[in-house]
């Protein structure tokens, strides 16, 4: 028979080995998860210079899936339309998202996306004074975009948005349309006008 001291030592040894084995397993699983996350992560910053027409590239060749269906390459016009819709959506989301704490940064960020005429109108709205009537914040998310008028040098895009407003601690949401007019200047789509609708 083993002594009480020997039995206690054996029990503690088994418990210690069990805890050590579980710890090693958890470390290995965690490292595998981190490796998957690192390989699938995307950059957090968007370079808006890449949305110009001359920097948007089409796929190099047609891709034929194993089912035998041929994927159609987008035409130059389709690429231009997609670029115009993308710029319009980004513009509306930035222009429509603001708070009393951001000191007009939403408008300042639109400088490179606007025509000179629109920028002169928007920049005139930037003031150095802040009115302190409590916090108001609005977040705008573009849901759909439809081109309602198209020419190679001008496009009108209608954007449907969801706007969420927080005012005095109360949050409310509403759908609102925006009509964005874009002009193509040296293969770059620039917003020339934007109007909120109902």
The residue ranking higher by pLDDT, 67 or 71, is 71
Residues 16-32: what's their mean pLDDT?
Answer: 89
Note whether 88 and 13 are same-domain residues.
no
Q: Is residue 3 assigned to a domain?
A: yes
Q: Is residue 14 assigned to a domain?
A: yes
Q: Is residue 46 assigned to a domain?
A: no
Note whether 130 and 178 are same-domain residues.
yes
Q: Is residue 58 assigned to a domain?
A: no
Q: Is the pLDDT of residue 89 over 90?
A: yes
Note whether 83 and 32 are same-domain residues.
no
The residue ranking higher by pLDDT, 187 or 133, is 187
Note whether 103 and 175 are same-domain residues.
yes
Confidence of residue 169 (pLDDT cuts 50, 70, 90): confident
The residue assigned the tokens 């339309």 is 81
- Pick from 29-43, 44-58, 136-150: least confident: 44-58
Mean pLDDT of the chain, nearest integer: 84
Q: Is the pLDDT of residue 63 over 80?
A: no
Q: Is the pLDDT of residue 41 over 60?
A: no
**Residue 32 domain boundaries:** 1-39
Confidence of residue 179 (pLDDT cuts 50, 70, 90): very high
Q: Is the pLDDT of residue 54 over 60?
A: no
Note whether 114 and 28 are same-domain residues.
no
Note whether 3 and 97 are same-domain residues.
no
How many Å apart are CA 18 and CA 10, to the nearest integer? 12
Q: Is the pLDDT of residue 59 over 80?
A: no
Phi-psi region of 37 (alpha: psi -120 to 50; beta: other; left: phi over 0): alpha
135: Cβ contacts below 8 Å, ≥ 6 apart = 99, 100, 101, 166, 167, 168
Counting the structural domains of the chain, the total is: 2
Contact between 90 and 113 (Cβ < 8 Å): yes
Residues 151-157: what's their mean pLDDT?
Answer: 94
């Amino acid at each position: 028979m083993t002594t009480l001291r020997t039995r206690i030592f054996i029990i503690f040894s088994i418990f210690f080995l069990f805890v050590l084995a579980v710890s090693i397993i958890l470390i290995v699983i965690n490292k595998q998860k981190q490796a998957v996350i690192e390989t699938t992560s995307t950059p957090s910053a968007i370079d808006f210079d890449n949305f110009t027409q001359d920097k948007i590239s089409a796929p190099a060749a047609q891709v034929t899936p194993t089912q035998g269906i041929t994927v159609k390459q987008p035409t130059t016009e389709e690429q231009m339309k997609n670029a115009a819709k993308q710029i319009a959506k980004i513009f509306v989301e930035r222009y429509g998202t603001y708070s009393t704490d951001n000191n007009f940064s939403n408008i300042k960020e639109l400088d490179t996306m606007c025509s000179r005429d629109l920028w002169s109108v928007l920049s005139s709205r930037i003031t150095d004074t802040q009115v302190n009537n409590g916090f108001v914040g609005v977040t705008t998310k573009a849901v759909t975009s439809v081109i309602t008028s198209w020419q190679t040098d001008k496009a009108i895009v209608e954007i449907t948005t969801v706007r969420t407003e927080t005012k005095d601690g109360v949050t409310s949401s509403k759908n609102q349309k925006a009509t964005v007019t874009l002009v193509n200047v040296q293969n770059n789509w620039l917003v020339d006008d934007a109007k909120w609708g109902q």
